[in-house]
Amino acid sequence: MSKPLSDHDRKKQISVRGLAGVENVADLKKNFNRHLHFTLVKDRNVSTKRDYYFALAHTVRDHLVGRWIRTQQSYYEKDPKRVYYLSLEFYMGRTLQNTMVNLALENACDEAVYQLGLDMEELQEMEEDAGLGNGGLGRLAACFLDSMASLGLAAYGYGIRYEFGIFNQKISSGWQVEEADDWLRYGNPWEKARPEYMRPVHFYGRTEHHPDGVKWVDTQVVLALPYDTPVPGYRNNIVNTMRLWSAKAPCEFSLKDFNVGGYIQAVLDRNLAENISRVLYPNDNQTPIFNIITSSEALERWPIDLFQTLLPRHLEIIYEINRRHLEHVSSLYPGDVDRMRRMSLIEEGGQKRVNMAHLCIVGSHAVNGVARIHSDILKATVFKDFYEMDPHKFQNKTNGITPRRWLVMCNPGLAEVIAERIGEDFIRDLDQLKKLHDFVNDEAFIRDIAKVKQENKLKFAVHLEEHYKVKINPNSVFDVQVKRIHEYKRQLLNCLHIITFYNREFREMSDNYVLFNSSQAAPGYHTAKMIIRLITAIGEVVNKDPVVGDRLKVIFLENYRVTLAEKAIPAADLSEQISTAGTEASGTGNMKFMLNGALTIGTMDGANVEMAEEAGEGNIFIFGMRVEDVEAMDAKGYNASEFYNRIPELKQAIDQIAGGFFSPKQPDLFKDIVNMLMHHDRFKVFADYEDYIKCQEKVSALYKKPKEWTKKVILNIAGSGKFSSDRTISQYAREIWGVEPTLEKLAAPDDPK
């Protein structure tokens, strides 16, 4: 096994990382030392690694400041239409390297840090992830911010500054344990508090109706304190703002109530108000889309009583909107009372509720799904009535990912190999990856692509050995499923594949496999936690089987998050995207893998459908039921035992799980999972098992032909241009928001000297 180039040497070769001019490096070193002294108040005798990280972060941040002020100044002068992207989650991950990439400072900083006798990767590891999101939805918002800045839109991200982000997952005796994510403990060098822009937010109270209007009175006030974080575009000198709000009790909070506890109690009660932004709720995607179809209770429906108490004036306005809306419906469909009931913003029967999705549709001039299949399903099912009434309102905007973080930053070796062939413009215009079609039969290019993957695998293997003391063979197939745990994402189908391959191992498998899984379970989601325990249990048996040796390993990677995704995805050969057709709205993990040279095994669900179209159906491993098949099976009734009784290898795997083969000390540990799979599996794992295993056999066969494999990898990378969030944002801008991406660059300010 050859040792990879040191990161310092490898990165120096790379042009996409910016120039390391002598003057730049000297200024960076000077400013680093200045910050260490004046900002951190340390000298090098007593500095910690974290001090060095903060000194570097402040040094890089200084390069943002002039650009940030100038950008906002230019928006003030030109007064373009602004875009405000409101999201409860912004899953940003780390900021330091992303800033260096977008400002072309990476090589210069590397050199400066090297000359200071420090290790760039070690310093980067000191940065906490900004984990203000659960999964795909929050990460999408973060990718969109990068694209909006890179496309020169006058855009702002608005969200909540959670004091605690997504929990840190520890694995203890195979179980998930949650720890609080105290990400602000050492301070956040990227944010600027803006107390001068504090705003009051009102709750509770009552309304008074006067001849001259309505008054909302006797409210309780909580203050909203904004913190601004810079969002730099890719090498265009534009820096937008993400503004996150923190709840703050007003000085007089609860004092005027003269509560019996008096002054001390009143001060203690300030926590009640400030709890609003204390912690991110760790629930991801409670509504896989098929769930909506089969049970409308999965939609957000807020009880009227709660609304009435908390936001009485808002409720009155909603009633008025509903009155006008239903008047409109009844004018179009006279006498169709059932349709009126279905389309109402207020659901009657039992506890009255506000249907928030209906309110959104009525209040918006455009509504969109996030992949073509998702948009089609919405129009045909949950929002059918609304689509019939207002077909022009409904659109599609297929999701995307930013190629800056998800290629240039996390996989510089691959970015460089591509840039050597087609130049660097693909980083702003990802469709240019199509030019790689000219190189599918180019022996040198095929070798380079395979070599980069091998280096990434080696690097990841070294990382695992250093940080987790797990040894894997880097010549194995890296088969990766990383995403939140949910029944609809079918980590259990992956488990059944692992068990089946293990059971076959002695007979027919010849290549090495490492199956990686990484995922967080919502703390209250029992089945999800049991699935994690099952994966770790399978690993405990498989990984210590001396007959298997290193031919098959099952690794559960602790604490999945943006930073772990950036390490694992560039090393993956195979990407698992195996949700039940019709349940995954889009997926974005699938796109990251495609761009990073993994092949996909997946169902015809979410964006997989469009990925197959772009890569060519022959270059992606599609298996299993299509949406129509799932619907037909629902109509007929899904019978798990039919599959269990007919397929011997499936029966064997289930019997092993049920019989304690993977949990000898507690044979009935997985009885709930087995019971679910056999009797009430909404996501029909067994129905896709056979085709999935056959498809995995095809994967193994192709992997034995490295050149053919790599050609398909190249065709996937060449076809991944559509999945840039730059394309997504350009479509939102032109087709919904009515703004035009400028692609204009601002003049560079003077850099800190």
Ligand X SMILES: *Cc1c(COP(=O)(O)O)cnc(C)c1O
Residues binding ligand X (CB under 6 A): 135-136, 139, 483-484, 561-562, 565, 587-589, 592
Task: Determine which helix (DSSP H) or strand (DSSP E) holds 209, and give its type and residue range.
Answer: strand 206-210
**To the nearest whole angstrom, how small is the minimum distance from the Cβ of residue 563 to ligand X?**
8
Q: Which two tokens stand for residue 436?
A: 């790689």
Which residue, 483 or 551, is less far from ligand X as judged by CB? 483
Q: Please report how many Cα atoms fall inside a 13 Å half-sphere around the Cα of residue 194, on the Cβ side.
A: 15
Residue sitting closest to ligand X (CB): 589
Closer Cβ to ligand X, 482 or 542, answer by number = 482
DSSP 578-590: -PPTT--S--SHH
Least separation in angstroms between residue 584's CB and ligand X is: 7
User: What is the residue type of 229?
Assistant: T
Q: How far out from the chain centre does Cα 565 lie? A: 9
Residues facing 220 on adjacent strands = 203
- Which residue number, 453 or 483, has a Cβ lying nearer to ligand X? 483
Largest alpha-carbon pair distance within the chain?
Answer: 86
Question: Pick from 492, 495, 482: which is nearest to 527 by CA?
Answer: 492
State how far the Cα of 517 lies from the Cα of 424, in Å rounded to an integer. Answer: 33
Q: How far is the CB of 722 from ligand X (least distance, A)?
A: 16
Neighbouring residues of 306: CB distance < 8 A, sequence distance ≥ 6? none
Q: Find the shortest distance in angstroms from Cβ 467 to ligand X.
A: 18
Alpha carbon distance 365, 383 (integer Å): 15
Q: How many whole angstroms from its chain centre is CA 251?
A: 38
At its nearest, how many Å lie between ligand X and the CB of residue 485? 10
Tokens read off for 183: 């990400």
In the complex with ligand X, the residue whose CB is nearer, 589 or 624, is 589
Compute the least distance from the CB of residue 520 to ligand X, in Å.
9
φ, ψ dihedrals at 60, nearest 5°: -70, -40
Q: How many residues does the chain have?
A: 753
Q: Toward ligand X, which CB reaches closer, 106 or 566?
A: 566
CB of 587 to ligand X, least distance (A): 4
> Whose Cβ is closer to ligand X: residue 405's or residue 453's?
405
CA distance 433 to 451: 19
Least distance CB 592 / ligand X (angstroms) = 6
- Alpha carbon distance 138, 238 (integer Å): 23
For 293, other C-beta atoms within 10 Å of its C-beta total: 18
The least CB distance from residue 178 to ligand X, in Å, is 16
- Residue 172's alpha-carbon distances to 169, 178, 485, 561, in angstroms, are 10, 10, 17, 18
Residue in the structure block whose two tokens are 């001019």: 21
Give residues with Cβ within 8 angstroms of 524, minimum separation 6: 283
Q: How far is the CB of 484 from ligand X (least distance, A)?
A: 6
Which of residues 485 and 657 has its CB atom nearest to ligand X in the complex? 485
Complex with ligand X: residue 8 or 567, whichever CB lies closer: 567
Closest CB to ligand X among 88 and 321? 88
Q: Which is nearer to ligand X, 574 or 653 (CB)?
A: 574
